[in-house]
């Protein structure tokens, strides 16, 4: 006869279901960007007027929460889009260059909080996503862009995983301690935060 735990597990969908959240970075960004603080259908941070978050930008159904079940966060990643569409930025399309990424990294640090407590913090490039931009920039074939690609193993695995329950509130804050990005970016960038690890989702 199955135990109560075996029955409980049989009623959940358990697998690798990453969470992601994106936002637009202005050319001289200075204000904090709060990834995972909004859900599908909400206004997309930094985007043009009337632009809402779709499944291209996030898969959160509840702002700042995983919804039902639980998640064991084993890795936190950050990546940037290779192209910023005008329909999202509201100020024109742009292809980020190596110089843009370097300027952004020199000014930005990321901080992951759960229920107001800081669990991880550090510069942007301390959070390789293991996927994202890789290869020669279309702006200059002498430039190479990478954030841990092409190997997924390039992501940083947390020694002590972070457990998220359905009632926990979390946010990944991109901060600019020295103020606005100097020698401003050539155009707006779109940045995505990732949470990797097994997640249990109720199916009944």
Question: Per the structure, how many domains does the chain have?
Answer: 1
Distance of alpha carbon 178 from the chain centroid: 22
Domain coverage including residue 37: 19-202
User: 187 lies in a domain?
Assistant: yes
pLDDT bin (cut points 50, 70, 90) of residue 128 is confident
**CATH of residue 176:** 2.60.120
User: 10 lies in a domain?
Assistant: no
Distance CA 131, CA 45 (A): 23
User: 99 lies in a domain?
Assistant: yes
What pLDDT, on a 0 to 100 scale, did the predictor assign at position 98? Answer: 80
SS3 string, 18-63, reads CEEEEEEECCCCCCCEEECCCCCCCECCCCCCCCECCCCCECCCEC
The predicted-structure confidence for 71-97, as pLDDT tens digits, reads as follows 999 999 888 888 899 999 999 899 888
What pLDDT, on a 0 to 100 scale, did the predictor assign at position 19? Answer: 95
User: 7 lies in a domain?
Assistant: no
pTM, 2 dp:
0.84
Q: Beta-strand (E) ranges in 131-178?
A: 134-136, 144-146, 157-165, 170-175
The predicted-structure confidence for 164-201, as pLDDT tens digits, reads as follows 999 999 999 999 998 888 778 899 999 999 999 988 87
User: 42 lies in a domain?
Assistant: yes
User: 1 lies in a domain?
Assistant: no
């Amino acid at each position: 006869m199955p135990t109560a735990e075996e029955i409980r597990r049989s009623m959940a969908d358990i697998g690798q279901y990453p969470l992601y959240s994106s936002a637009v970075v202005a050319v001289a960004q200075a204000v904090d960007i709060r990834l995972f603080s909004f859900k599908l259908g909400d206004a997309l941070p930094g985007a043009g007027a009337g632009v809402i978050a779709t499944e291209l930008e996030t898969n959160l159904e509840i702002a700042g929460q995983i919804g039902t079940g639980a998640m064991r966060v084993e890795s936190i990643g950050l990546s940037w889009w290779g192209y910023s569409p005008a329909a999202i930025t509201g100020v024109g399309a742009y292809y980020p260059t190596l110089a843009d990424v370097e300027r952004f990294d020199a000014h930005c640090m990321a901080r992951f909080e759960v229920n107001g407590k800081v669990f991880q913090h550090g510069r942007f490039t301390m959070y390789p996503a293991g996927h994202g931009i890789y290869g020669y920039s279309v702006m200059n074939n002498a430039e190479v862009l990478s954030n841990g690609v092409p190997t997924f193993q390039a992501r940083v695995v947390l020694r002590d995983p972070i457990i998220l329950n359905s009632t926990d509130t979390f946010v990944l804050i991109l901060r600019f301690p020295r103020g606005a990005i100097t020698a401003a970016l050539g155009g707006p960038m779109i940045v995505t935060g990732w949470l990797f690890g097994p997640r249990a989702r109720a199916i009944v």
